[in-house]
Amino acid sequence: MTTASAPIPTTPASRGAALPALLRSEWIKLRAQRSTFIAAAAALILGLGVGLLDVLSVTGHWATMSAADRAGFDPVGDPLSGFQFGELALGALGVLAVSTEYATGMIRTTLTAAPRRTVLYTAKALALGVFALLVSELCAFSAFLLGQLVLRREHLNVPVTDAHVLRAVTCAGLYAAVVAMVGFGLGALLRHTAAAICAMFALVFLAYPLARTFEGASYLPDHLLLINAASALATVHPPAGPHAARVPSFGFALFDLALYLAVFLGFGAWRATRDA
166-198 pLDDT, tens digit per residue, is 999 999 999 999 999 999 999 999 999 999 999
Contact assessment for residue 124 and residue 98, using Cβ atoms and an 8 Å cutoff? yes
Most confident of the ranges 64-78, 215-229, 262-276: 262-276
Q: What angle do CA 50, 175, 80 make, to 5 degrees?
A: 25
The residue among 49 and 244 whose pLDDT is bigger is 49
Is 2 part of a structural domain of the chain? no
Percentage of residues in the chain having pLDDT higher than 90: 53
pLDDT number for residue 39: 93
pLDDT number for residue 7: 39
Is 12 part of a structural domain of the chain? no
Rounded Cα distance between 27 and 232, Å, is 32
198-250 pLDDT, tens digit per residue, is 999 988 877 665 555 555 445 567 788 888 888 889 888 766 665 666 788 89
Decide if pLDDT at 275 tops 60.
yes
Is 10 part of a structural domain of the chain? no
8-39 pLDDT, tens digit per residue, is 333 444 344 688 999 999 999 999 989 999 99
Q: Which of 47-61, 99-113, 162-176, 217-231 has the lowest mean pLDDT?
A: 217-231
pTM to 2 decimal places: 0.87
Could you give the number of structural domains in the chain?
A: 1
Is 236 part of a structural domain of the chain? yes
Is 7 part of a structural domain of the chain? no
Is 34 part of a structural domain of the chain? yes
Is 9 part of a structural domain of the chain? no
Characterise 164 by phi-psi region: left (phi > 0), alpha (psi -120 to 50), beta (else).
Answer: left
Rounded Cα distance between 78 and 55, Å, is 6
Rounded Cα distance between 257 and 250, Å, is 11
Q: Measured over all CA atoms, what is the biggest interatomic distance in the chain, rounded to whole angstroms? A: 100
- In the DSSP assignment, the letter for residue 243 is G
Write down the H helix ranges in the chain: 12-15, 19-32, 34-61, 67-71, 83-104, 106-113, 117-151, 165-190, 193-201, 207-212, 220-223, 226-233, 250-272
pLDDT number for residue 242: 57
Q: Which domain holds residue 118?
A: 18-272
Amino acid at 236: V
pLDDT number for residue 5: 40
Percentage of residues in the chain having pLDDT higher than 70: 86
- Cα separation of the two ends of the chain: 44
pLDDT number for residue 220: 63
Rounded Cα distance between 151 and 51, Å, is 12
User: Cβ contacts of residue 68 below 8 Å, gap of 6+?
Assistant: none
Is 11 part of a structural domain of the chain? no
CB atoms within 10 A of CB 89: 24
The residue among 251 and 72 whose pLDDT is bigger is 251
